[in-house]
């Protein structure tokens, strides 16, 4: 787990499981397994698409995302990523720390944090690759899967100056 910006941390499943939940901290849980499945309680292969929390579930200080580290950008929903970025901003404004986690802490969680820093103007670049290079200085563990990286590359400019 690493703080990459004031109050914003990125980590993995173990970091979340070992976290002291009494702290002034909120969480973005960016993985279907185990968190989204546990929050909704589905037992089959996937959550029912008609379920009102199919994409995003909110439980107290947690935003739980139905995200798998899919191989193609089209499997990532801008609605989910946007919700995560808004949640991060709102929680930081409340004075809470925010830990963004996925299973390994390298792909989904790191990519959400990268987009947040682009949105805040902390990370800048003429190309997405420039932004990635700057982010790697803050979070060397960043190693996104092809799908989430593709999503970020397609959408990063839409987050500038938001």
All structural domains of the chain with their residue ranges: 2-156
Write down the architecture of domain 2-156 according to CATH: Alpha-Beta Complex (3.90)
Q: For the segment 32-71, what is each residue's pLDDT rounded down to a tens digit?
A: 999 999 999 999 899 999 999 999 999 999 999 999 999 9
Q: For the segment 75-132, what is each residue's pLDDT rounded down to a tens digit?
A: 999 999 999 999 999 999 999 999 999 999 999 999 999 999 999 999 999 999 999 9
| Full-model pTM | 0.96
The DSSP annotation for the chain comes to -EEEETTEEEE-HHHHHHS-TTSSEEEEEE-IIIIIHHHHT--SSS--TTSTTSSEEEETTEEEE-----SSGGGS-HHHHHHHHHHHHHHHHTT-EEEEE-SSSSSHHHHHHHHHHHHHTSS--SSHHHHHHHHHHH-TT----HHHHHHHHHHGGGGTT-
């Amino acid at each position: 787990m690493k703080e990459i910006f004031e109050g914003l941390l990125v980590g993995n499943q173990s970091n979340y499981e070992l976290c002291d939940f009494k702290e002034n901290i909120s969480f973005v849980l960016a993985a279907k397994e185990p968190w989204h499945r546990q929050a909704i309680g589905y037992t089959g292969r996937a959550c029912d698409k008609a379920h009102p929390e199919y994409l995003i579930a909110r439980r107290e200080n947690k935003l739980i995302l139905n995200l798998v580290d899919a191989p193609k950008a089209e499997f990532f929903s801008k609605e989910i990523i946007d919700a995560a970025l808004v949640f991060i901003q709102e929680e930081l404004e409340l004075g809470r720390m925010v830990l963004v986690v996925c299973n390994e802490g390298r792909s989904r969680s790191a990519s959400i944090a990268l987009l947040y820093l682009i949105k805040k103007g902390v990370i800048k670049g003429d190309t997405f690759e420039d932004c990635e290079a700057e982010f790697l200085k803050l979070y060397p563990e960043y190693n996104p899967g092809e799908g989430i990286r593709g999503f970020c590359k397609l959408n990063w400019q839409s987050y500038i100056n938001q």
